[in-house]
């Protein structure tokens, strides 16, 4: 009988423990709400270690999330709708009477925090850091924050197959950052940069586990492990030492930090309320081991033992100097390639950097001496940098990614820079002006002597000026006669151009004051003729021999006898010895490059279609309709100008190559601008009008997408080279990605993309003629499916 009281006592203890367990879960009833500044601002967990609600984000702005209450700090472990803008102090978070968890902004808009269709009956902030919604009295969980992690997992939380953690921008900015940790379907846990193709060479850390339906688990004792679908441990990532101190509570979290390193933290809470944080394990030892820590065209260097800094490669500047990790862009505009006919006109020089590496693959690997590696890059228009290592020279296109300094690499990188020539140092101190002598007059006789000498000196100077003026006049008359008789310029009745003097054009441009643009061999200035009533563009050729001389004569021959609404009109010229200038009609609306890449209001779809046809008609005139067929050789947006009525006109015939009537191909030195050059330029092959077709194809795709053919600041690596991205979107039937949310004529979009892809085929014979290009763009001729592009 004595056992009966014992059984009753044990049952009493069981009921008591169940009651205590129920008290651990503090239910939040329907109709409850939070405010950013008026209590309650959050719903705490029973232990007080976690809270769900509003936390401050900037000046009088707030986000909704879950945080760990570290005295005196706050460690955010989860954020709702992290990429939405912060809300003001007038916002409200409510668990509505209809069972929905809704954020009401100060504009009265409501946004759901969860993604479930079921209605909740209550909610709770648990001591595990998990915020849950329950359904019915059985407390069935219908949603929990553990199923939707941001950058952190907590004790008792899993990262299942297909889930990922994405780092925050910074410790104070919870929006989507630059790195992600993915639990892949093959069971491998892998870290990548966010804006990457997630190929094997993009990853910078992996668990090396391969078990389908694997999961990452962090338990309450700090054991971080990978498990299979049955829950068995495949690999222990880290096992934190357990504490025997019963007066201390330890909470573990694993966070993908803003620098891309996955770390395990412990937060120790004493009974007196104090707390400490410790790093139990870092995935990597330093930030330079993280692919993408520094953006494109930059390299990572260690500062101390663990922290790092980003530096631009030679020839590049920071895209945003305040965010050095954001990558670098060219510090100069790409010029035309080196002309093999004029070796003296070298456009580029070489700058070397030692002991740097990057993760891209070269397009050419050749065994050669170190001294020859840089020169090989200079001769190759596709080469942005050459990389010498162990007797091999590796040619690399730009941009470069995942650059880092490695003192043990024993490498030399040769970077191609624009050759600025010998420029005088503008910082030199100007020569001092001589001090005027002080004349002391002692008498009238001395004064008279000074006056006589001065008068004689003035008379002599006037005589000298008269003689000099006579010879200058005589020289100019002879020069004009010589110019008129010059067979190269062919000044006939059909050549209706005005001859200007250098002084006229210098005065018209106010001393060449306002620069409009800069080309391969000259600079264009804004000028005013006829008492300022006529605005013109004056191009001053800055080289008088070699390529500059050829450019002048080519432009005179070509433009002087051409006239088309889609060609910039040449009005006149100046040729005084080494001073050679061209006078064009002024294009008030800048270049197509400004319109597509820089303007705040980019042209709408119909305007872009019209511009594409304007350019195509201008090229067709040069190829087939003018007296002498002309290959432009440098079709690019910078050479397409917009007049007062937004008509596109082709300019800059400086690289034009004229064909004889019975000629379809010609040999010429490498010309044009990188990115727009047809492949045959690099093969020493004859150049035909199909070279212009290739350049037009690149420009056409730029017009479609309103972006340049190569951009570094893009969301994925596939988008860097425009032509490759366009083809991938075409094959995947995702052309809407090219124009975003813009309303376009879908049939015309498909037609323009297909025409552009045909134009940029490597084989010239596969490219259509400009006449067929126009027929296809106008819908008169069908456009077949283009073949794949060569990589």
CATH of the domain at 650: 1.10.510.10
Instruction: Specify which residues 123 forms β-bridges with.
Output: 28, 133
Query: Is residue 492, in this structure, part of any structural domain at all?
Result: no
Q: Looking at per-residue confidence, does 136 or 167 come out higher? A: 167
Query: Is residue 486, in this structure, part of any structural domain at all?
Result: no
Q: Do residues 159 and 143 both lie within one domain? A: no
Query: Is residue 183, in this structure, part of any structural domain at all?
Result: yes
Order of strands across the sheet that contains 205-206: 164-170, 173-183, 189-193, 205-206
Using 50, 70 and 90 to split pLDDT, how confident is the model at 63?
A: very high
pLDDT in tens, 517-555: 877 667 899 999 876 678 999 988 775 444 555 666 666
Task: Let me know: does 364 contact 387? Beta carbons within 8 Å.
Answer: no
Task: Let me know: does 181 contact 189? Beta carbons within 8 Å.
Answer: yes
Count of H-run helices and E-run strands, the chain: 12, 47
The chain-wide mean pLDDT, for the chain, equals: 83
Average pLDDT over residues 694-716: 91
Place of tokens 């990790």: 325
pLDDT in tens, 369-403: 998 999 989 888 888 899 999 899 999 988 899 99
| CA gap 382, 561 in Å, rounded | 35
Order of strands across the sheet that contains 122-125: 27-29, 122-125, 131-135, 140-144
> Does residue 182 carry a pLDDT above 60?
yes
Most confident listed range (65-74, 332-341, 382-391): 382-391
Domain final position from 348, 383, 418: 418
CATH code where residue 359 lies: 3.50.4.10
Q: Do residues 218 and 262 both lie within one domain? A: yes
Q: Do residues 629 and 575 both lie within one domain? A: no
Query: CA end-to-end span of the chain, whole Å?
Result: 90
pLDDT score at 216 = 95
Please give the model's pTM, rounded to 2 decimal places: 0.65
CB burial of 161-199 (b: ≥16 within 10 Å; e: otherwise) equals: bebbbbbbeeeeebbbbbbbbbbbeebbbbbbbbbbeee
pLDDT score at 1 = 46
Task: Let me know: does 584 contact 568? Beta carbons within 8 Å.
Answer: yes
Return the closest-CA partner of residue 141 out of 122, 169, 165.
122
Q: Do residues 609 and 718 both lie within one domain? A: yes
pLDDT in tens, 485-525: 444 444 434 446 788 889 999 999 999 999 888 776 678 99
Task: Let me know: does 69 contact 48? Beta carbons within 8 Å.
Answer: yes
Q: Do residues 641 and 702 both lie within one domain? A: yes
CB burial of 441-474 (b: ≥16 within 10 Å; e: otherwise) equals: eeeeeeeeeeeeeeeeeeeeeeeeeeeeeeeeee
Q: Lowest-confidence range among 61-65, 273-277, 299-303, 355-359? A: 273-277
Q: Do residues 393 and 507 both lie within one domain? A: no
Using 50, 70 and 90 to split pLDDT, how confident is the model at 653?
A: low
pLDDT score at 141 = 94
Enter the tokens of residue 257: 């930090």
CATH code where residue 269 lies: 2.90.10.10
Percent of the chain clearing pLDDT 90 (strictly above): 47
pLDDT score at 516 = 86
> Does residue 661 carry a pLDDT above 70?
no
Query: Is residue 12, in this structure, part of any structural domain at all?
Result: no
pLDDT score at 173 = 93
Average pLDDT over residues 174-181: 95
Average pLDDT over residues 460-468: 82
Query: Is residue 121, in this structure, part of any structural domain at all?
Result: yes
Enter the tokens of residue 136: 């019915």
Using 50, 70 and 90 to split pLDDT, how confident is the model at 32?
A: very high
**322 burial type by CB count under 10 A (0-12 exposed, 13-18 middle, 19+ buried):** exposed
Report phi then psi at 769, rounded to 5.
Answer: -75, 165
CATH code where residue 508 lies: 3.30.200.20
Q: Do residues 304 and 339 both lie within one domain? A: yes
Query: Is residue 200, in this structure, part of any structural domain at all?
Result: yes
Q: Lowest-confidence range among 432-446, 641-655, 727-741? A: 432-446
Q: Provide DSSP, 749-769.
A: HHHHHHHHHHHT-SSGGGSPP
Q: Do residues 671 and 604 both lie within one domain? A: yes
pLDDT in tens, 582-615: 888 898 888 999 899 886 778 999 999 999 999 9
pLDDT score at 14 = 43
Q: Do residues 677 and 723 both lie within one domain? A: yes
Query: Is residue 357, in this structure, part of any structural domain at all?
Result: yes
Q: Do residues 534 and 656 both lie within one domain? A: no
| CA gap 559, 627 in Å, rounded | 11
Task: Let me know: does 111 contact 81? Beta carbons within 8 Å.
Answer: yes
Enter the tokens of residue 687: 């150049």
Q: Do residues 251 and 327 both lie within one domain? A: no
Query: Is residue 132, in this structure, part of any structural domain at all?
Result: yes
Domain final position from 372, 387, 418: 418
| CA gap 46, 248 in Å, rounded | 17
Determine the structural domain holding residue 352 and report its residue range: 298-418
Q: Do residues 168 and 258 both lie within one domain? A: yes
What's the Cα-to-Cα distance from 20 to each of 15, 25, 122, 168, 634, rounded to whole Å?
A: 9, 9, 19, 38, 81
Report phi then psi at 371, rounded to 5.
Answer: -65, -25
Catalytic residues, by residue number, are 634
Q: Lowest-confidence range among 256-260, 277-281, 469-473? A: 469-473
In a 3-state reduction of DSSP, which class is residue 590?
A: coil
User: How many domains does one find in the chain?
Assistant: 5
Enter the tokens of residue 349: 């020089």
Beta-strand runs (E) in 514-634: 515-518, 522-529, 534-541, 570-576, 579-585, 630-631
């Amino acid at each position: 009988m004595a056992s009966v009281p014992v059984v009753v006592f044990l049952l009493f203890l069981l009921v008591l423990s169940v009651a205590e367990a129920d008290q651990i879960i503090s239910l939040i009833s329907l109709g409850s709400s939070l405010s950013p500044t008026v209590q309650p601002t959050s719903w705490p967990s029973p232990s007080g270690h976690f809270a769900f609600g509003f936390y401050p984000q900037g000046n009088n702005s707030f986000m909704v999330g879950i945080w760990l209450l570290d005295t005196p700090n706050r460690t955010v472990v989860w954020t709702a709708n992290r990429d939405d803008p912060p809300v003001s102090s007038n916002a409200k978070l409510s668990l509505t009477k209809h069972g929905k968890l809704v954020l009401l902004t100060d504009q009265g808009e409501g946004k759901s925090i969860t993604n479930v269709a079921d209605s909740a009956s209550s909610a709770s902030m648990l001591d595990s850091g998990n915020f849950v919604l329950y359904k019915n009295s059985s407390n069935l969980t219908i949603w929990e924050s553990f199923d939707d992690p941001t950058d952190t997992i907590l004790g008792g939380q899993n990262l299942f197959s297909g889930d990922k953690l994405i780092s925050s921008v910074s410790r104070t900015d919870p929006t989507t950052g630059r790195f992600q940790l993915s639990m892949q379907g093959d069971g491998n846990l892998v870290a990548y940069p966010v804006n990457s193709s997630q190929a094997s060479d993009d990853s910078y850390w992996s668990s090396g586990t391969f078990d389908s339906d694997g999961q990452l688990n962090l338990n309450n004792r700090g054991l971080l492990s990978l498990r299979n679908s049955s829950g068995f441990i495949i690999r222990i990532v880290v096992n934190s030492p357990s504490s025997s101190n019963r007066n201390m509570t330890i909470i573990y979290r694993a966070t993908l930090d803003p620098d891309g390193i996955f770390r395990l933290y412990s937060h120790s809470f004493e009974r007196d309320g104090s707390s400490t944080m410790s790093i139990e394990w870092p995935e990597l030892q330093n930030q330079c081991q993280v692919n993408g820590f520094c953006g494109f065209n930059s390299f990572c260097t260690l500062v101390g033992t663990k922290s790092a800094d980003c530096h631009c490669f030679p020839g590049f500047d920071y895209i945003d100097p305040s965010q050095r990790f954001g990558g670098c862009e060219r510090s100069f505009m790409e010029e035309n390639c080196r002309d093999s006919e004029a070796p003296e006109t070298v456009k580029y020089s070489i700058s070397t950097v030692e002991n740097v590496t990057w993760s891209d693959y070269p397009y050419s690997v050749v065994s050669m001496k170190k001294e020859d590696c840089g020169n090989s890059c200079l001769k190759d228009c596709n080469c942005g940098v050459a990389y010498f290592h162990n007797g091999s020279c590796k040619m690399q296109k730009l941009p470069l990614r995942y650059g880092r300094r490695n003192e043990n690499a024993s490498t030399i990188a040769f970077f191609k820079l624009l050759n600025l020539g010998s420029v005088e140092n503008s910082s030199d101190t100007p020569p001092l002006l001589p001090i005027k002598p002080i004349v002391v007059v002692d008498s009238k006789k001395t004064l008279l002597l000074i006056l006589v000498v001065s008068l004689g000196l003035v008379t002599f100077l006037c005589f000298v000026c008269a003689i000099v003026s006579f010879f200058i006049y005589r020289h100019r008359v002879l020069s004009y006669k010589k110019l008129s008789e010059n067979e190269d310029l062919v000044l006939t009745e059909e050549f209706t151009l005005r001859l200007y003097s250098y002084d006229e054009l210098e005065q018209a441009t106010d001393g060449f004051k306002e620069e409009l643009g800069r080309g391969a061999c000259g600079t264009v200035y804004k000028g005013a003729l006829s008492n300022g009533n006529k605005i013109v563009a004056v191009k001053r050729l800055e080289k008088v021999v070699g390529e500059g001389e050829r450019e002048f004569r080519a432009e005179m021959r070509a433009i002087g006898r051409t006239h088309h609404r889609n060609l910039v009109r040449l009005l006149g010229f100046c040729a005084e010895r080494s001073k050679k200038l061209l006078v064009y009609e002024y294009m008030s609306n800048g270049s197509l490059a400004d319109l597509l890449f820089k303007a705040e209001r980019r042209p709408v779809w119909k305007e872009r279609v019209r511009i594409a046809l304007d350019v195509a008609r201008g090229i067709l005139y040069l190829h087939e309709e003018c007296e002498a067929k002309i290959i432009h050789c440098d079709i690019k947006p910078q050479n397409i100008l917009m007049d007062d009525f937004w008509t596109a006109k082709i300019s800059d015939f400086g690289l034009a190559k004229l064909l004889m009537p019975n000629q379809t191909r010609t040999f010429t030195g490498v010309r044009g601008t990188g990115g727009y050059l047809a492949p045959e330029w690099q093969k020493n092959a004859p150049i035909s009008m199909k070279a212009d077709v290739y350049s037009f194809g690149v420009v056409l795709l730029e017009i479609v997408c309103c972006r340049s053919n190569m951009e570094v600041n893009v969301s994925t690596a596939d988008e860097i080279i425009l032509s490759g991205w366009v083809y991938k979107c075409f094959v995947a039937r995702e052309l809407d990605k090219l124009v975003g949310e813009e309303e376009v004529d879908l049939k015309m979009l498909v037609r323009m993309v297909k025409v552009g892809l045909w134009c940029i085929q490597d084989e010239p014979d596969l490219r259509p003629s400009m006449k067929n290009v126009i027929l296809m763009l106008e819908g008169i001729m069908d456009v077949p499916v283009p073949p794949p592009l060569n990589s």
